[in-house]
Amino acid sequence: MSETNSIAGQVLRDMFSTATSWLEKSSADIDALNVFPVPDGDTGTNMMLTMRSTMEEAYRAPDNSASAIAHAMAKGALMGARGNSGVILSQIWRGMAQGLDGKESFNAAEMAEALLKSADIAYKGVSNPVEGTMLTVMKDAAKEAKAQVDRGEEDVIGLLEAVVNAAGDSVARTPRLLKVLKDAGVVDAGGQGLYTILEGALRFLKGELELMRLRKPQIIVSDLPSTVPLPQATGVDEVPFGYCTEFLLKGEKLEPESISKRLEKKGESLIVVGDESAVRIHIHTLEPGSIVQFATKLGTLHQVSIRNMDEQHQDFLEMQKERMPTTDTAVIAVASGDGLKDVFGSLGAAAVIPGGQTMNPSTKDILQAVQSVPSENVIILPNNKNIILTAGQVESLTEKKIKVVPTRTIPQGVVALLAFDYEADFKTNAEIMEKALSSVKTIEVTKSVRATRINGLHIKRKQPIGLLDDELIAAGDTDLDVINKILDKLDMKEAEVVTIYYGEDVQAEEAEKISASITEQYTNLQVELIKGNQPHYSYILSIE
């Protein structure tokens, strides 16, 4: 992938518009993460709605400069902020706007400075910042951005990739900083939401729109050993929660700092942010009437929300198990190469066992993976014909229920996992996944280890060769030559999507040329290119 040294305003807008859609796909999962002893279990929804307002305003920006887009986003976020997480998110965009003020476009160093400003403004917007929340994730992400620039990183995509990785690591650490998260066995919901937004922006810049259409954001898992299979919130604090009170105050010559000082002893979780014409207020209080009365003396109130948290908390406890992501069935896949491991992880695999061609995992390796996942029902995807029997041995060695879906290739494993139905039971899912295998054809391209004659082919040593669903049927002068020979044998009129996974020894430019060649030759196809990083096989193609 070529370097990107500068981002213009229109790209800034498009990347976070895409990120908003990415967040929307997992908002319910993020909602379910929030197991604090107050009923704010709508973090994902609040962040999603805040981002919608953010982007609606971005499309109304007076021009396409980075500065104008960023300021419009900050305004939209403030006006549409919902809940604690939404208000903090609005401050992140406010800091971004300050960092990009006056800039037509921005480079990696300027992006790092803007992220540092976002973290600073977000912390200042909260009266009592708590570590282990989205504030920490923003701070850690910004620190990594600065570290990358200090090391000489000039590629914006490279910088953002490091930022996303740092944010993910920070989310995984949140239970170490907040006991309530540790006790519940989950990560911070707001931090997860922020990670998902940053990841969505990165995927846009990397050109992964088709990948995003087919997949769902990954929920980060705590880096602490799991102590409870599901959040347990059986006890209710005797101290009343009061009312979650939030509204937008509009007026003239408003002073956010002065308002914050007046309200800081009136309740908890106070956030007061804005400017002299509009201030967003969020507070948990036992006396919402006094807050409203005070605010009406300063201006007019809009978007007023007062929720009884004691009643909501009881409902929340009753609904908690239903709202948590299901852990009834875990899927374990076998794959080799960081890219392929990421693919299976992003599709929801609970564990990925390193292995594949020339490095088949042992029965013990697979058994250990089975024992490590919290579910009692486990579906195994071998993704290689030589691993299917080994996987079958595990059933007699564990009390867990095991189903081996006999996937013989990586593309079969992917379509099987895409077919997984979170609402179906264990047996039904195994059947659904196995039926899905016939919907995909697999092409694998490698180099011959010796000269031979087979299937009517005269093959030289180290010559590119190609397999179709495990059968060697082509040899050629180049990888593209082999791929084309196999594609010619298939009825491509019936195909809709081709996914190309390129190996660890393949340069991105070469893979892009092959992708472009297939796109040009088969105009009816959607062609997706993914760095699989797999050894031995230069290319693995999935034809659906």
Token digits for 444? 């694998």
Rounded distance between C-alpha atoms, residue 130 and residue 109, angstroms: 28
Rounded distance between C-alpha atoms, residue 192 and residue 174, angstroms: 10
Rounded distance between C-alpha atoms, residue 472 and residue 443, angstroms: 10
Give 386's pLDDT tier (boundaries 50, 70, 90).
confident
Q: What are the backbone dihedrals phi and psi of residue 27, each rounded to the nearest 5 degrees, phi first? A: -60, -40
pLDDT digits (tens, 9 = 90+) for 30-87: 887 754 433 345 788 889 988 999 999 999 999 999 999 999 999 998 888 877 788 8
In this predicted structure, what is the pLDDT of residue 415? 93
pLDDT, average across residues 139-155: 95
Percentage of residues in the chain with pLDDT exceeding 90? 51
> How many Cα atoms are found within 13 Å in the side-chain-facing hemisphere of 380?
28
Bridge partners, residue 245, by sequence: 283, 306
Rounded distance between C-alpha atoms, residue 49 and residue 87, angstroms: 11
Helix, strand, coil shares of the chain as percentages rounded to 5? Answer: 50, 20, 35
Q: Which of 122-131, 237-246, 340-349, 452-461 has the lowest mean pLDDT?
A: 237-246
In this predicted structure, what is the pLDDT of residue 161? 94
Rounded distance between C-alpha atoms, residue 510 and residue 496, angstroms: 23
In this predicted structure, what is the pLDDT of residue 453? 81
Bridge partners, residue 379, by sequence: 331, 403
Residue (of 544, 541, 439, 543) closest to 500 by Cα position: 541
- What is the residue-averaged pLDDT of the chain? 86
Rounded distance between C-alpha atoms, residue 535 and residue 337, angstroms: 7
The Cβ of residue 322 has, within 10 Å, a number of other Cβ atoms equal to 8
Q: What are the backbone dihedrals phi and psi of residue 502, each rounded to the nearest 5 degrees, phi first? A: -105, 150
What three-state secondary structure class fits 333? strand
pLDDT digits (tens, 9 = 90+) for 417-447: 999 987 788 999 999 999 999 999 999 999 9
Q: 467 with 473: CB under 8 angstroms?
A: yes
Token digits for 17? 């518009």
Alpha helices in 178-282 (DSSP H): 179-184, 189-205, 209-214, 256-263
Give 274's pLDDT tier (boundaries 50, 70, 90).
confident
Amino acid at 286: L
Give 511's pLDDT tier (boundaries 50, 70, 90).
very high
Query: CB neighbours of 77 closer than 8 A, spacing ≥ 6?
Result: 50, 51, 53, 54, 57, 86, 89, 90, 93, 94
Give 358's pLDDT tier (boundaries 50, 70, 90).
low
Rounded distance between C-alpha atoms, residue 503 and residue 339, angstroms: 9
Q: 415 with 437: CB under 8 angstroms?
A: yes
Q: Where are the beta strands (DSSP E) in 31-130?
A: 105-106
Residue (of 14, 118, 142, 19) closest to 66 by Cα position: 14
Residue (of 185, 201, 184, 195) closest to 218 by Cα position: 195
Percentage of residues in the chain with pLDDT exceeding 70? 90
Q: Which position has the higher pLDDT, 28 or 15?
A: 15
Q: CA 278, 282, 283, 288 torsion: positive or negative? A: positive
Token digits for 359? 């490095």
In this predicted structure, what is the pLDDT of residue 474? 92
Quick one: which H or E segment has residue 316? helix 309-323
Give 21's pLDDT tier (boundaries 50, 70, 90).
very high
Give 475's pLDDT tier (boundaries 50, 70, 90).
very high
Q: Which of 223-237, 340-354, 409-423 has the lowest mean pLDDT?
A: 223-237
What three-state secondary structure class fits 34? coil
> How many Cα atoms are found within 13 Å in the side-chain-facing hemisphere of 320?
21
Query: CB neighbours of 531 closer than 8 A, spacing ≥ 6?
Result: 339, 501, 502, 508, 511
What three-state secondary structure class fits 249? strand
Rounded distance between C-alpha atoms, residue 272 and residue 288, angstroms: 15
pTM of the model: 0.54
In this predicted structure, what is the pLDDT of residue 162? 95
Q: Which position has the higher pLDDT, 55 or 235?
A: 55
- Is residue 325's pLDDT more than 60? no
Q: 159 with 112: CB under 8 angstroms?
A: yes
If you search the block for the tokens 């992880």, which residue do you land on? 345
Rounded distance between C-alpha atoms, residue 54 and residue 32, angstroms: 23
Domains of the chain with CATH codes: 7-214 (1.25.40.340), 243-319 (3.30.70), 329-438 (3.40.50.510), 441-543 (3.30.1180)
> How many Cα atoms are found within 13 Å in the side-chain-facing hemisphere of 254?
26
Token digits for 325? 């992501």
If you search the block for the tokens 């040593």, which residue do you land on? 461
Residue (of 446, 443, 455, 361) closest to 409 by Cα position: 443
